[in-house]
Amino acid sequence: MAEVIKEYDERGNCIYYKDKKEQWWAKYDKNNNLIHYKDSNNYESWHKYDENNNYTYFRSTNGTEFQRKYDENNNLIYYKDSDGPERWWKYNENNNLIYYKDSDGPERWWKYNENNESIDITQQEFKQIERTREKQELYLNIKRSNRFEIMDI
């Protein structure tokens, strides 16, 4: 059986891992968010978070980079990565998505009824498009945090 070496910081985060195949180091902030990762294969990544622990920035040695911004309600309002278009979101007072735009495509607006149910979506060309849960989820998927977490093996 191969020997596995693990070291943890005072908060229980794995900061060092070594086995027969790999070795890596990790550093965390005071909120246990990963802020730096480096492995024995020359991969390295840097991570930043805002005061609400929203994942705001990622950069790695393989050229991947992204930036995210959030509003006061922790709704994603801006996203830009190294491979795709810039994206913007706006929300109403109920935190419902009311506007989406990306630098490659049309703008979209959402309207809601008194029960906060989406009643229509309008594209930039002012055509009504069918409102389905799946389509709205497509635009909201990026809102969900995709935090990079190191899992103990």
Asked, for residue 37, whether it belongs to a domain, the answer is: no
Report pLDDT for 62: 95
Asked, for residue 38, whether it belongs to a domain, the answer is: no
Report pLDDT for 122: 83
Asked, for residue 136, whether it belongs to a domain, the answer is: yes
Asked, for residue 95, whether it belongs to a domain, the answer is: yes
3-state SS, residue 94: coil
Q: What is the pTM of this model?
A: 0.73
Q: What does the alpha-carbon distance between residue 140 and residue 91 come to, in Å, rounded to a whole number? A: 12
| 90 closest CA partner among 67, 117, 108, 104 | 108
Asked, for residue 32, whether it belongs to a domain, the answer is: no
User: pLDDT means per 10 residues in the chain (153 residues)?
Assistant: 91 97 97 98 97 97 96 97 92 95 88 89 55 48 46 41
The residue range of the domain holding 115 is: 64-143
Question: How many domains does the structure of the chain reveal?
Answer: 1
